[in-house]
Amino acid sequence: MKVTFAGTPVELSGTEIHVGDTIADFSAVKNDLSEFRLSEVKGRKLIVAVPSLDTSVCDAEVRRFNQEAVKHPEVTVITVSMDLPFAQKRWCGAHGIENVLTVSDHKDRSFADTFGTYLPNVGLIARSIFLLDENNKVEYVEYVHEVTDHPDYDAALKAL
């Protein structure tokens, strides 16, 4: 799948995800450096993939989903980025992010490969959103065409 990053076309690597697909487990790193596995999370999951929390669009996006998470306690909101766990922990603490679980895919790109979000030559994850049911079946997908743009918040929230 192709997206653009700051206007430059980029072919994403990994497997493109579609509504109806069932997601295999993936691993990442929690902010305390322990391993995260998707299989640890029960119930519905909203996965918000962002390039880096320290950019204005990613900052605004994760803050928005942190606020929306309170309205949907039956859904676990997971933000995945390539940021180091230390940076994620610092950012969450500085911005009062308490309703979103942040995990880092920097170590082995398990998320990026599983969800087809890796931006080769950039080394980041493409902005995307995935809603999974309790059996990890995909209910909603958005790969944001221009990585530096905001996702369609209304469509993602309506899917919830």
Q: Determine how β-strand 44-49 pairs with β-strand 35-37.
A: unpaired
Structural domain spans, the chain? 2-159
Q: Is the pLDDT of residue 121 over 90?
A: no
Spot the catalytic one: 28, 29, 58, 119. 58
**Is 92 part of the annotated catalytic residue set?**
no
Helical spans, DSSP H, in the chain? 56-69, 85-95, 110-115, 153-159
pLDDT at 119: 95
The fold for domain 2-159 equals: Glutaredoxin (3.40.30)
Give the whole-angstrom CA distance, residue 96 versus residue 160: 23
Q: Tell whether the model's pLDDT for residue 24 goes beyond 90.
A: no
* Residues in Cβ contact with 69 at an 8 Å cutoff, skipping those fewer than 6 apart: 75, 77, 99, 100
3 pLDDT tier (thresholds 50, 70, 90)? very high
